Amino acid sequence: MEITIVSVILVATIYLLISERLPVDLTAIGIMVALMLTGILAPVEAVAGFANPAVITVGAMFLISQGMVRTGVVGLIGQRVMTLAGGRAWMALLVVLLIVGVASAFINNTPVVVLFIPVIISMGCRLGVSPSKYLIPISYVSILAGTCTLIGTSTNIIVSDLSARNGYGAIGMFELAWVGLPIAVIGFIFILLAAPRWLPDMDHPTCELDGQRKRRYLAELVVPRGSALVGLNPCGDLAARYPGIEVVELIRYSHIFHPCRDTVAIAPDDLLLVKGSPNDITHILQGKDVDLPPTAKGIDYGKPEETLVVELIIPPQSSLLGQRLGETYLDREESLHVVAVERSGLHFTERQIKDIRLRIGDILLVWCRVDRMEKYRGRSDWIVVEDVHHDIVYQRKAPLAGLIFAAMVIAAASGLADIMVCALAAVFLMLVTGCLPLQEAYRALQSNVLMLIAGTIALGSAMDQTGASQLYAEFYLGVLQGWPPYLILAGFLLLTSISTQVLSNNATAVLLLPIAISTALGLGVDPKPFIMAVCFGASACFATPIGYQTNLMVYGPGGYRFSDYLRLGIPLNILVLVGGTLLIPVFWPL
């Protein structure tokens, strides 16, 4: 009976995490409440995840990562990319991927990717190459690099703690590098060669918005019924009719089309996101072929010194996440107006956006007064895409932050102290030395992630105590009966990798680890290789934009389709599967 109850809770959890019917932190609370009310776990056991060293360590690493980014330890290097690249696009990509890879091996990869999104867009614009060829690569390289060290990703920290609690020892600081580093190097070379060829070549809307002799602006134009533009190709025909106007996107019934990529003709009531000089925009408006939508009536494109239209990306640490746009302080700002919201290939206008709950990766198209733009730079609630990066105001603290971080890594790697103790000590030193302001630290603490880890730890414990994990392991072994252990290990890597495409990597690791251990014990082999398989499989989230939040972060800015992730993602998933199957048994014998 208890196994049935736990299975029902597990299925409900997976459904809610995939469908996002409830926020993940609310789902986590529901898990704990359900386990307590059904008597599967005692109250103390259900909430024990909050005191779990893995949760505390992951929370500390969020703060340390933010301190490293905020003081410019990573950003100052990134700002020199253009100098090192020397105007060569391939060199720029190489330098950026190296920086992202090295940084992501030691700090949480989400702030690294957040930092480099505007850097990549600015760099692509200046070099005349599409930022779309760079954004997925930085996400994928950050994921690959995160598997090389214990602190490279929160998943490794969680698996290490659960492994120790089950009596199989913690994972060393660089123990994962035996397998992670070869896979990361091969994946790095593959991305460097394949990304420029396989990823789409599209201009970014914000290119040439600033720093040009003849500045160009974003504008939204609606095609009225009877317009001479109806039936024309927005990529070629409209450009021939109005040479100074470039159509970046065509929006029809909330769906976004990229004119030079998608086969589409202009229809009545289409919304065109165009780029052009103030004179060009004024000229097309005077031609009566288009009109301004109601949301843009207040913008005077004839006075470029007064207004600016930019994009704001919502990052994981934003306080706006989960809020209805109409209830946020953005809706009350007099000098800033939200024109539209873009989400995963969909476009919502002002009449629709009031009730939209903001998510990671949402792009807000806003216009504001130029003289008030500085007010909105440097805010942690969004990334201003036309910026190279928000001002790093604590640069003088960079050497100190770097020293604190290096001391933490050395102390943890040498065994001088437990990783949790080292991480908490580093957070304390960054706070008292001013490397990370306390208010910034609270914003960097991703409470929804920590709640999810605590909730899934409780569910994993319930699966273990009731024998559900043993039952699932026996079913898995029954399906693969007669297979050699290394192929069963490969099968588990595949199962974990598939699961992490639709669930978070942390939830996948916590839920599958008890099954992995039970599977190994059922085979009569050492569970350690299966524990490592969970580490690498749970991080192999390349094939979908929803598999990892850095994938989701670059989805909108890159103008990607779901299929773009499959092109590079499936080969990388196969690389992890083959590499893990061959190398894990070598360093952790079955």
Residue 39 located in a structural domain: yes
pLDDT tens for 314-325 read 887 788 888 888
Q: Is residue 458 a contact partner of residue 33, using CB atoms and an 8 Å limit?
A: no
Task: Tell me which range, 244-253, 256-265, 416-425, is most confidently predicted by mean pLDDT.
Answer: 416-425
| 349, 384, 419 - which closes a domain | 384
Q: Which residues of 107-133 are buried (b: 16+ CB within 10 A; e: fewer)?
A: bbbbbbbbbbbbbbbbbbbbbebbbbb
Distance between CA atoms of residues 471 and 459, nearest Å = 15
197 plus 222 within the same structural domain = no
372 plus 439 within the same structural domain = no
Residue 343 located in a structural domain: yes
Angle CA 458–161–58, to nearest 5: 85
Residue 210 located in a structural domain: no
Portion of the chain with pLDDT greater than 70, in percent: 88
Residue 432 has pLDDT above 80, yes or no: yes
Maximum C-alpha span of the chain: 79
Strand ranges across the sheet with 307-313: 217-222, 271-276, 246-252, 255-257, 346-349, 336-343, 363-369, 307-313, 383-384
Is 280 in a helix, a strand, or coil? helix
Distance between CA atoms of residues 367 and 206, nearest Å = 13
Distance between CA atoms of residues 524 and 128, nearest Å = 58
Nearest to 130 by CA among 195, 56, 224: 195
pLDDT tens for 117-137 read 877 877 777 777 888 888 999
pLDDT tens for 525-546 read 999 999 999 999 999 989 888 7
Residue 251 has pLDDT above 60, yes or no: yes
| 331, 349, 384 - which closes a domain | 384
Q: Is residue 145 a contact partner of residue 185, using CB atoms and an 8 Å limit?
A: no
Q: Tokens for 403?
A: 């020293």
Q: Is residue 63 a contact partner of residue 34, using CB atoms and an 8 Å limit?
A: no
pLDDT score, position 182: 96
pLDDT score, position 391: 40
Q: What is the dihedral of CA 98, 99, 102, 106, to 10 degrees?
A: -160
Angle CA 535–537–540, to nearest 5: 110
CA 360 to chain centre: 8
Show the domain range for 374.
217-384
Nearest to 25 by CA among 263, 321, 428: 321
471 plus 571 within the same structural domain = yes
Higher-confidence position of 391 and 139: 139
99 plus 68 within the same structural domain = yes
Length of the chain: 590
| 384, 410, 433 - which closes a domain | 384
287 plus 318 within the same structural domain = yes
Nearest to 153 by CA among 61, 50, 49: 61
Residue 433 has pLDDT above 70, yes or no: yes
pLDDT tens for 458-475 read 998 898 888 888 888 888
Number of domains in the chain: 2
Higher-confidence position of 495 and 281: 495
Kindly state the DSSP code that residue 130 receives in the 8-state scheme: -
* CATH code of residue 275: 3.30.70.1450
184 plus 283 within the same structural domain = no
State the DSSP string of 302-371. T-TTTEEEEEEE--TT-TTTTSBGGGSGGGG-SSEEEEEEEETTEEEEHHHHTTPBP-TT-EEEEEEEGG
247 plus 133 within the same structural domain = no
pTM: 0.78
The mean pLDDT of the chain is 83
pLDDT score, position 426: 93
Mean pLDDT over 260-268 rounds to: 87
463 plus 534 within the same structural domain = yes
Instruction: State the amino acid at position 518 in one-letter form.
Output: S
Residue 570 located in a structural domain: yes
Residue 390 located in a structural domain: no
pLDDT score, position 157: 93
pLDDT score, position 184: 95
Q: Tokens for 81?
A: 């990319």
Portion of the chain with pLDDT greater than 90, in percent: 24
243 plus 191 within the same structural domain = no
Distance between CA atoms of residues 57 and 54, nearest Å = 5
**476: confidence class by pLDDT, cuts 50, 70, 90:** confident
304 plus 404 within the same structural domain = no
**298: confidence class by pLDDT, cuts 50, 70, 90:** low
Residue 57 located in a structural domain: yes
CA 258 to chain centre: 23
Residue 334 has pLDDT above 80, yes or no: no
Mean pLDDT over 40-44 rounds to: 92
374 plus 420 within the same structural domain = no
Residue 389 located in a structural domain: no
Task: Tell me which range, 242-256, 382-396, 568-582, is most confidently predicted by mean pLDDT.
Answer: 568-582
Residue 208 located in a structural domain: no
Residue 210 has pLDDT above 60, yes or no: no
Helix and strand tally (H, E) in the chain?
Answer: 25, 9
pLDDT score, position 359: 83
Task: Tell me which range, 5-14, 81-90, 478-487, is most confidently predicted by mean pLDDT.
Answer: 5-14
81 plus 186 within the same structural domain = yes
Mean pLDDT over 288-311 rounds to: 65
Mean pLDDT over 26-31 rounds to: 90
Higher-confidence position of 39 and 503: 39
